[in-house]
Structure 1
Amino acid sequence: MYKILKKAGLFSLFGVLLLASCNKFDEINTNPDATGKVNASLLATKIILQNLKYQGRDAKSYLSDNGMDKYIAYGNETILSTQYNYLGATDFTPMTLVPNVNSMLANAAGSQMENSYKGLAKFSRAFMFYYLTMEVGDIPYSTTGLGGKGDIRPVYDAQENVFKGILDELKDADGFFAQGIKFNG
């Protein structure tokens, strides 16, 4: 019994010492070379690449979704599901672009390239929402990107309203690009 109590006491003492020794490492673990704020041009690069790679995919995916696969021959390839009208399911992965767009706008605020970044943001949102509404139909458009503010149940907008919003965003993007300057990204 004495050995059990001795071991329990040693483990308790070890646990208390271990927990008491693990605090105030913030100043030691802070990397002086790391940034606390991401540059808007870095986010712009990510946004542009995500759009150009057709929602994060490659050029072949662009052809298989938008070309008529029945008339396009791929050498040394397997059968594509779209050749036989098997379209499968889709998801809302393209909406991962929205937080980057919001961060880019927040970080570009007040800079001389702000209008250029606003134009890119509006165009990227319109591009992403166009392909998403064409794949899915009704999508959460007006309340997209509010999850960080506690809105985890977005309202699905009718496809007609989504297209009206897309056209408005494209008009805004045109205006911002007309006022903007060449930007990094």
Structure 2
Amino acid sequence: LCGWDVWYCFHLGLAWLPLRRGTRALPYDAFVVFDKAQNAVADWVYNELRVRLEERRGRRALRLCLEERDWLPGKSLFENLWASVYGSRKTLFVLDHTDRVSGLLRTSFLLARQRLLEDRKDVVVLVILRPDARRSRYVRLRQRLCRQSVLFWPHQPSGQGSFWAQLSTALTRDNRHFYNRNF
């Protein structure tokens, strides 16, 4: 072998390794999508979710992508949305109700579904803040397929520790591990 052959094989191996692992470095662990018009939801996202996940002590803090903080000014809404969904390991939808969904939530969900079709990665995690949203057909179907990707906020303080542990697991593991084997 000549020196160029060794150099070529070395760089070919370096180029192949990240593709083999299937884990490219993404800037965010989760893109958080919520309806900013609902003050209670926005307050929960900024004061509970962001604080608990980004400012953790002891465990690895997660990097969240939030629209008002991390989107680039001057880019179109769709460009920022696309960059957020494809630049995050998961897309976290925080919903207060499931009957009326804003345009941003709907578009984000369509992009996450498109990512499932293109990359074969299910990146959707739902956090539902009200218990009456359990009646939604989509929520029930999603629970049957991938139970750990649908989480309900417990209003009793005793259940909140378990909720944060489940959310951390849902955001850091691949959803394929959680699929119901019967489907």
- Normalised by the size of structure 2, how large is the TM-score? 0.28
Q: Which protein is richer in strand relative to its size?
A: 2
Greater relative CO (CA pairs within 8 A, separation 6+): 1
Normalised TM-score (structure 1): 0.28
